[in-house]
Amino acid sequence: MPPSQKPTVLPELVFGIVGPMGVNMEAICDSLTNALRAVDYSAYPIHLTKEMLKEDRYKLQRYPVEAPGLSEKNFYTDVNFKINYANALCKEFSDAATMARIAIRAIGDERGRLTGDRSTLGGKAAAYIVRQLKRPDEAVLLRRVYGRQFILISAYGPAEQRQQ
């Protein structure tokens, strides 16, 4: 009779993606998702700029940032608005790791959606892909919270490609 084997419990992972403007983050996240799927992980994207604007959760009181009007909205104005909003949030909360705190909350929200409880890990292997970190303080906080389960990935692309 073969010895009984306990099922392997895979740890919850958190990947932080960092890279300059213009790098194809979608392609990097897709590649990472496919690699995770190959080792039986389910990947859950955490898009920080979407999270910070979600449901007006993070209202700016002291440092408001004006969103571009519809007539002036384009890639450049949209990116600048998001950068300015993230910077204003850090200033508003006097914390350079504010975006990491938003990521931690979003991970908890996603975990709650998956398991019914924000603080309970699910039975399936889960990996959260946080895009896109910009400050060292953010990586430091995520490392402090998730320990060795936090993996920082730096992405790069040639200047000509990023300008496009």
pTM: 0.86
- At residue 7, the pLDDT reads 61
Among the ranges given (25-34, 55-64, 102-111, 128-137), the one the predictor scored with the smallest mean pLDDT? 55-64
CB proximity list for 130: less than 8 A, separation 6 or greater: 14, 15, 16, 17, 46, 48, 103, 107, 142
Q: Give residue-wise pLDDT tens across range 95-105.
A: 999 999 999 99
91 vs 117: which has the higher pLDDT: 91
Confidence of residue 16 (pLDDT cuts 50, 70, 90): very high
pLDDT at residue 1 above 60? no
Q: For residue 10, give the 3-state DSSP assignment.
A: coil
Tokens representing 135 are 């400050």
